[in-house]
Amino acid sequence: MSALLRIEQAALVRGGRLLFEGLDLMLVAGEAAHVTGPNGSGKSSLMRMVAGLLRPSAGRIERAAVALCDNGLALDRELPLGRALHFWGGPRLAEALTAFDLDRLTEVPVRLLSTGQAQRARLARLMAGGARLWLLDEAHGGLDRDGVARLDAAIAQHRGDGGAVLAASHVPLAGHWRELAL
Amino acid sequence: MRLAAREVRRALAGAAWLPVAFFLLVATIVPFAVGPDAQLLSRIGGGALWIAALTAALLPIERLVEPDRADGTLDQLAMAGVPEEIVGAAKIAGHWLTFGPLLLAAAVPGSAMVGLDGPALGRCLVALAIGTPALAALAVAVAALTAGLPRAGALAGLLLVPLAVPLLIFGAAASGADGGAALKLEAAVALLIVAGAPFVTGAAIRAARS
């Protein structure tokens, strides 16, 4: 089976500082890796590099279609949540709304969402896009117990469906993850 | 198309009327500043309207690109495979739609304030109609260049005004009598700006990520 993500000897320099070098990582369908490391160790930069938003200073990256959930909301604040998410569309939008319990919030303007609700919206956008590789940057932050359970279930389902996940998180994650310490 | 429509919707939900109100305000203070001499006013009126249009173009700069950069919209668009140049072009089109026509409409009462007669108003409207797409394109490009920087608003003004000088020269000249040649030069300058701005915007959006 071909890899959904293959990082070979990647290095990243930001602001004159070497964040990591010689990084190798391969994820095939169903696999997931948990990136750990202290604040400022380059977890978010790694995510952005895999997403294609930052160019590696050295090494190479091959990957499947990717979706990133970081702290950017990227939803129009004045629109109702349903329409704001609809802008990004995606084949699994209806399913994603249900998976993160957002069905009853579709008429609520984005600017009125709470921290946890906004996090569910980010995750719904990630899921809706139908990308096979998920990048989760502190995706558990702000979620209540129900939200965490829903995210863990969504991750398990995504892996079961042949997807892969790369997650940076300070909290332990449910299920089996490969550890990648930066 | 959907991106441009989104820009229009966001501008209308926000303060699309603000640059136009500012334009009228500047046009209104001209007679107060230079006195009520009708002949003098009608001679400088075209140029005064252009200065008003240029300052009005500065007002919306901070909301054109920075909010989308800050909340990750530009990143998500990149991951959705939309080239940054297309984002720039859509922003320019969307911004002009909420800026150009309103400004042209405001130029009619504005020209009365600075004492332009009918034919002069017509020339001025043609020159502004050609110039406003370039002003919108410059505003988006400068907004992308300054997005995320401290004091971006002031910096954007310092950047935009010099870049708009050729447009201002030919545009103001085209608004006066015998402006045929100036109008062609204005159109050439405007075309250059409108054609180049999406690429400047795209490069600036990419550069802001690293």
Angle B137-B209-A142 (CA atoms, 0-180°, nearest 5)? Answer: 115
**What six digits make up the tokens of A39?**
């604040």
Looking at residue B14, its pLDDT comes to 76
Do residues B34 and B41 make contact, with C-beta atoms less than 8 angstroms apart?
yes
Domain carrying residue B119: 2-209
Instruction: State the best of A50, A57, A87 to mutate against chain B, taking most chain B CBs within 10 Å.
Output: A87
Q: Are residues A114 and A173 in the same domain?
A: yes
- Judge: A53–B76 Cβ closer than 8 Å, yes or no: no
Q: In chain A, what is the straight-line distance between the N-terminal and C-terminal CA atoms, in Å? A: 27
Distance of CA B19 to the CA centre of its chain: 9
Chain B positions in Cβ-Cβ contact with residue A54 (cut-off 8 Å): 209-210
CA distances to A44, A46, A125, A137, B48 from A10, rounded to whole Å, are 15, 10, 28, 19, 57
Do residues A68 and A135 make contact, with C-beta atoms less than 8 angstroms apart?
yes
**What six digits make up the tokens of A145?**
């117990």
Closest partner CB to B78 (pick from A14, A53, A88): A53
Q: Are residues A171 and A83 in the same domain?
A: yes
Do residues A49 and A60 make contact, with C-beta atoms less than 8 angstroms apart?
no
State how far the Cα of B95 lies from the Cα of B61, in Å rounded to an integer: 10
Q: Are residues A18 and A50 in the same domain?
A: yes
Reported confidence tier of residue B68, pLDDT bands at 50, 70, 90? very high
pLDDT at B181 over 70: yes
Do residues A150 and A117 make contact, with C-beta atoms less than 8 angstroms apart?
no
- Judge: A73–B6 Cβ closer than 8 Å, yes or no: no
**What six digits make up the tokens of B113?**
């304030």
State how far the Cα of A87 lies from the Cα of A79, in Å rounded to an integer: 10
Reported confidence tier of residue A1, pLDDT bands at 50, 70, 90? low
Q: Widest CA span of chain A, in angstroms?
A: 47
Q: How many domains does chain B have?
A: 1
Q: Is A152 on the interface with B (CB under 8 A)?
A: no
- Judge: B72–A74 Cβ closer than 8 Å, yes or no: yes
Q: Give pLDDT tens digits for A8-49.
A: 999 999 988 999 989 999 999 999 999 998 898 889 999 999
pLDDT at B88 over 60: yes
Amino acid code (one letter) for A152: D
Angle B84-B88-B93 (CA atoms, 0-180°, nearest 5)? Answer: 145
Chain B positions in Cβ-Cβ contact with residue A69 (cut-off 8 Å): none
CA atoms within 13 A on the CB side of A15: 6
State how far the Cα of B169 lies from the Cα of A98, in Å rounded to an integer: 58
pLDDT at B60 over 60: yes
Q: Are residues A55 and A119 in the same domain?
A: no
Q: What is the ipTM of this complex?
A: 0.90
Question: Concatenated DSSP letters for A87-113?
Answer: HH--TTHHHHHHHTT-GGGTTSBGGG-
Q: Is A67 on the interface with B (CB under 8 A)?
A: yes
Q: What is the pTM of this model?
A: 0.91
Looking at residue B35, its pLDDT comes to 86
- Residue A175's region, left for phi above 0, alpha for psi from -120 to 50, else beta, is left
Reported confidence tier of residue B114, pLDDT bands at 50, 70, 90? confident
Instruction: State the best of B3, B79, B210 to mutate against chain A, taking most chain A CBs within 10 Å.
Output: B79
State how far the Cα of B129 lies from the Cα of B106, in Å rounded to an integer: 12
Q: Is B80 exposed, middle or buried (0-12, 13-18, 19+ CB in 10 A)?
A: middle
Q: In chain B, what is the straight-line distance between the N-terminal and C-terminal CA atoms, in Å? A: 28
State how far the Cα of A178 lies from the Cα of A157, in Å rounded to an integer: 17
Looking at residue A3, its pLDDT comes to 87
**What six digits make up the tokens of B39?**
């002949």
Q: Is A155 on the interface with B (CB under 8 A)?
A: no
pLDDT at B8 over 90: no
State how far the Cα of A182 lies from the Cα of A36, in Å rounded to an integer: 6
Q: Are residues A132 and A55 in the same domain?
A: no
Chain B interface, Cβ < 8 Å to A: 2, 6, 10, 13, 70-73, 75-76, 78-80, 209-210
Q: Are residues A87 and A169 in the same domain?
A: yes
With CA atoms as reference, report the closest residue to A135 among A43, A182, A66: A66
Q: Give pLDDT tens digits for A73-119.
A: 999 988 999 999 999 988 889 999 999 999 999 999 999 999 999 99
Phi, psi of A33 (to 5 degrees): -125, 140
State how far the Cα of A13 lies from the Cα of A45, in Å rounded to an integer: 10
Domain carrying residue A14: 5-30+39-64
What percent of chain B has pLDDT above 90?
66
**What six digits make up the tokens of B89?**
């072009």
Q: How many domains does chain A have?
A: 2
Closest partner CB to B72 (pick from A55, A66, A70): A70
Q: Are residues A110 and A20 in the same domain?
A: no
Chain B positions in Cβ-Cβ contact with residue A123 (cut-off 8 Å): none
Among A1-10, B14-23, B50-59, the range of highest mean pLDDT? B50-59
Extended strands (E) in B39-186: none
Q: Are residues A82 and A101 in the same domain?
A: yes
